[in-house]
């Protein structure tokens, strides 16, 4: 079995350093889960000791890490590993074969995207050529951050990313750029979906890439209607009376730029497949992020931490990512929600986010359409017009549910 040979090869620390990034653990997890857990244990042990290890050492470390693992299945695999003999040349051939399989899978996914109108013939041709020629194994594929100051300033500060409809957020958080991950949270029926619709509709005209909303909360068709309302700033009765003209205008101006994935059981695999097949991602949103399936852990807080770490990784790979979470019961009727009001986790979610935005709502009937925004965490770089004094600002804003928009109360220069 090639995977066993690969594990044996990487027991050498030098080979681990050379080939670590070429091992497709994701594919391994989907095909041979037992070998996946042995492999990630191997990686963890090598990171810890930073020297060559033998199979006995790996086995001992594995059982200490997974004491409840099925002994019979894993014992058989460790016995096979003990007798496997592999040269570096053979290992290199195995990695090349894995690389070809990866390109073949990419070609298959791109071919499907082509049939749906989301990929070009040139993209198919390029992958076909790469598969026929054989992908090259690059031992040093590490990319380094530029030291060009002008380029850094342009990418991080001076060039706008996605700006917010609410100008108070532009003054506080600034633009959303690739790599930025944060989440909003609030109590039920506070206006989280309206907030998303308001900002999505405003950002759609700022990008040529796709804005993709993964929805496992409210009914998807209702959410899409909210997007229509927010985009045009009209009430539902106006949409009904002029459905044909609004549909035509939306398709003309938005087209395929907005994608709503509606599934009560959205999984990690679903999200990754959709993003891989996209022609270009401008913004990712998940409502609710906590409910994305495909993550296992001994405790809920660790599982949520894994979900939010994964979301951060997607932000770095594709585009900004906004998650939606719930506030716990202590936030009921409160104006200013802090990180301590986030449901189900007090540190694991918060640690992964670049920004955290709480939306508060009181029971005061005179403030029915007022929402209270609190920036409880902000590690974003902001824009040139962002105000340092507002980095962790608190803002009263107006919610207009009849047109699915939020609106500033204070005007900022």
Render pLDDT for 301-340 as a digit per residue (tens, 0 to 9): 888 999 999 999 999 999 999 999 999 999 999 999 999 9
Among 172, 233, 240, CA closest to 197: 233
343: which residues sit within 8 A by CB, 6+ positions away?
185, 290, 325, 326, 327, 328
What's the rounded mean pLDDT across residues 55-71?
Answer: 90
Which strand (E) or helix (H) includes residue 299? none
70: which residues sit within 8 A by CB, 6+ positions away?
none
81 pLDDT more than 70 = yes
Nearest 5 degrees, angle CA 190-CA 303-CA 74? 160
- Mean model confidence pLDDT for the chain: 89
Omega into 377 within 30° of 0, i.e. cis? Answer: no
Position with higher pLDDT, 317 vs 26: 317
What's the rounded mean pLDDT across residues 51-63?
Answer: 93
8 A C-beta contact, residue 372 and residue 394: yes
Among 198, 212, 164, 173, CA closest to 318: 212
What local confidence, expressed as pLDDT, does residue 112 receive? 80
Among 113, 121, 108, 180, CA closest to 383: 180
Which strand (E) or helix (H) includes residue 303? helix 300-317
Position with higher pLDDT, 96 vs 213: 213
Q: What is the dihedral of CA 263, 265, 267, 270, to 10 degrees?
A: -30
What's the rounded mean pLDDT across residues 13-36?
Answer: 79
DSSP 119: S
What local confidence, expressed as pLDDT, does residue 109 receive? 82
As a whole number of Å, the CA-based R_g of the chain is 24
- For residue 362, name the pLDDT band (cuts at 50, 70, 90): very high
Query: Distance between CA atoms of 199 and 180, rounded to whole angstroms?
Result: 16
What is residue 262's three-state secondary structure? strand
Task: Supply φ then ψ for residue 339, to 5 degrees.
Answer: -60, -25
The first and second tokens of residue 406, run together, are 């939020």
Percent of the chain with pLDDT over 90: 61
Task: Supply φ then ψ for residue 162, to 5 degrees.
Answer: -85, 120
12: which residues sit within 8 A by CB, 6+ positions away?
52
pTM: 0.69
Q: How many CA atoms lie within 13 A of 3 on its CB side?
A: 18
8 A C-beta contact, residue 10 and residue 23: yes
386: which residues sit within 8 A by CB, 6+ positions away?
170, 171, 172, 173, 174
Sign of the Cα pseudo-torsion (102, 106, 111, 115, in order): positive
The first and second tokens of residue 24, run together, are 């497709």
What is residue 327's three-state secondary structure? strand
What local confidence, expressed as pLDDT, does residue 108 receive? 86
8 A C-beta contact, residue 181 and residue 312: yes
Among 339, 324, 396, CA closest to 362: 396
């Amino acid at each position: 079995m090639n995977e066993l040979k690969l594990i044996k090869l990487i027991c050498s620390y030098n080979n681990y350093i050379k080939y670590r990034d070429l091992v497709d653990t994701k594919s391994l997890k989907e095909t041979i889960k037992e070998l996946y857990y042995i492999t990630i244990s191997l990686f963890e042990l090598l990171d810890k000791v930073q020297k060559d290890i033998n199979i006995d050492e790996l086995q001992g470390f594995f059982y200490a890490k997974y004491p409840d693992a099925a002994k019979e299945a894993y014992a058989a695999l460790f016995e096979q590993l003990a007798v496997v003999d592999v040269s570096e040349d053979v290992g290199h051939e195995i990695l090349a074969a894995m690389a070809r399989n990866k390109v073949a899978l990419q070609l298959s996914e791109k071919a499907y995207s082509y049939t749906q109108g989301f990929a070009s013939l040139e993209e198919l041709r390029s992958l076909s050529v790469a598969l026929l020629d054989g992908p090259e194994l690059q031992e040093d594929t590490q990319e380094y951050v530029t030291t060009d100051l002008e380029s850094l300033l342009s990418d991080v500060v001076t060039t706008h990313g996605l700006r917010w409809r609410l100008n108070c957020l532009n003054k506080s958080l600034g633009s959303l750029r690739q790599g930025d991950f944060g989440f909003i949270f609030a109590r039920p029926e506070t206006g989280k979906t309206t907030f998303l619709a308001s900002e999505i509709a405003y950002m759609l005209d700022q990008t040529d890439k796709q804005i993709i909303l993964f929805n496992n909360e409210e009914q998807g068709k209702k959410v899409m209607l909210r997007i229509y309302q927010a985009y045009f700033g009209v009430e539902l009765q106006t949409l009904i009376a002029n459905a044909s003209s609004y549909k035509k205008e939306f398709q003309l101006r938005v087209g395929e730029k907005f994608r709503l994935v509606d599934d009560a059981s959205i999984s990690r695999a679903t999200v990754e497949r959709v993003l891989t097949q996209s022609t270009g991602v401008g913004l990712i949103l998940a409502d609710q992020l906590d409910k994305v399936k495909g993550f296992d852990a001994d405790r809920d807080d660790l599982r949520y931490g894994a979900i939010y770490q994964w979301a951060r990784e997607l932000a770095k790979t594709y585009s900004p990512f906004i998650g939606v979470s719930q506030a716990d019961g202590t936030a009921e009727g409160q104006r200013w929600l802090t990180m301590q009001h986030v449901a189900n986790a007090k540190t694991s979610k918060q640690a992964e986010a670049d920004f955290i935005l709480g939306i508060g709502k009181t029971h005061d009937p005179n403030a029915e359409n007022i929402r209270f925004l609190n920036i409880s965490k902000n590690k974003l770089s902001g824009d040139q017009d962002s105000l340092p004094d507002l980095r962790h600002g608190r803002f009263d804003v107006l919610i207009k549910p009849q047109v699915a928009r939020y609106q500033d109360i204070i005007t900022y220069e």
